[in-house]
Structure 1
Amino acid sequence: MTPRRFFSIVFAAALLALLPVLALAAPLTQVTWLGQSAYKIVTPGGRILFIDPWIDNPKNPKGAETLAAIDKADLILLTHGHGDHIGNTVEIAKKTGAQLVATFDLGKAMVQYGGFPEKQFGFATTGYFGGHIALLDGEVKVAFIPAVHGSGLEAAEGAAVPVKSLQYGGQPGGFVISVKNGPAIYHTGDTDLFGDMALVKDFGPIDLMLVCIGDKFTMGPKRAAQAVKLTGARVAVPMHYGTFPVLTGTPGEFAEETKKASPGTTVKILQVGETLTLPLAHAMKPPRGAGR
């Protein structure tokens, strides 16, 4: 064996040994539950997204402190117009300059009735169900997913209508957020189970499903488990439970039902403020049949 051949073999072996270490050292996606349906996502590139950011909700004992500490956000994604999802959206937007990602109807309602800064919602960050948009220089791709719920928006102070009067907020929905060189995350918003959830994975394999389980206003644990089965999600995290006594669905019941309905799915029950770190997974892929 020549010296050159010997050193090539040694180098290759050393590289293979280092691959697990390099993978662990690579930037990862962080998903933090902030109570109810509120999440903070930090991408491998350091971009910050908030989904349905009701930060100072009753489930979050450090909500006021967490809210006060927010000084950076790139995007705020809203699934629908109810107050427990809009939450602190306007305050965060005014502090950080974050752009609003929402359906056209909801975005316009937020500007007209909700006090959202007009310059921070526009054509680039809006879409509608079945569509998808690339954002943050291509670091994330967002697909708009329908939901079975409502979306009436209560007018904020300063709107040209009575305060708390119910205004049209468009149709409710959810999102599949695909992170470049990272995971695909499906946030259901508030919804019941519906058969077309089986088509959500057309936007790519779902690595993480953030799924409402509270019952009364959304599907309960058993139907939520069936939703997980339809999407084929690898990991499921329950949300929208326990904030109020009427939200009776429990994460324990959801875990048991998911074990039966979708045994290949891992259920992760987060505590408020806990962060789930996701390894590199699927590179972003367009929906099947989409143009290049």
Structure 2
Amino acid sequence: MAGFFSDLMGLRVLLSCIGFVGNVVLILSIIQIRFSRVKSFELFLLGLAAANMEEIVIINIYDVLILETSAAETGTWSCRLLKFMTVFGEINSILFTVLISIFRYQKLRDAGRRVNLPIFLDNIRSAWMMSGVCVMLSTFLSLPVFVMNLQQSKVNITSNSSGCPPDFFRCSKNYCPLLNRSYKYLFIVLCHMVPLLIVTITSCLILTVLLRQRKTVTPEVSVSGSSQLHRKTKDPRFQRSTIAILAAMCLFQVDWTVYLIFQWTFNATDFPISAEIEFFVSTSYTSISPYVYGVGNNLFTLRNFKNLLKLC
């Protein structure tokens, strides 16, 4: 069993390093663009990458240094602060993903009739405002962590010498404070189920628009007056970016669907490796998505890597 836990820890460190490097490179690639030229989509990607990186760093500090090290001595407020920052990063990552999916659908919807007219989120001030809304909502939904009941049940609840619980939501079968239980269900519904539903719907709508555009043909009148059909040409970079977004949305859906199944089906107190399972599920999207977005949006290119090496 000790060897199994060490293998899990090795995979955990590897996944964290991959995610950290990917998000840092994505942030630096976007920062290379002059802020006067940064568009709304790049701003949303920047917010997503920053939230991903913060979540990966803090969740490792909380889980490894606090939970796995029995010699760690951490006060209650330090424990709450670390958990707050973990939840804050997780919600921010989810909300920026929702924002990206909605933004791309709006760009695709009625594109033929709208032509080059901008949408609401194309305005950089509107993009900054919506990014601020995501941060404010994340802060508001994370604040209950500071008032959660940390009293442990005397039975089957493992904690280290610091008194920091492995999971603020975790309750024993015999003892579960009403505040903890209420916040758990509210958190799962508002921060996981609703965003998952929105991303799923917008992904289906984006896919429907793409399939409809492939079948769409428009009449074109030639100089001689004869009418001929011709397929609309689309920007290949925009199409590649949209496919990358769909791939990231698919990863998001699989990731958080598995997380919800785990939360609603299994009792975490019955599984000694439940914390590790939750870690892999909750960080797989934050670690892999920057590579999907970076490659699909031409941010992870040899030219950008050379420029980053020059900066280093």
Bin of the TM-score, shorter chain as denominator length? under 0.3
Q: Normalising to structure 1: TM-score of the pair?
A: 0.25
Structure holding more helix per residue: 2
Which one has the bigger strand percentage? 1
TM-score by length of structure 2 reads 0.24
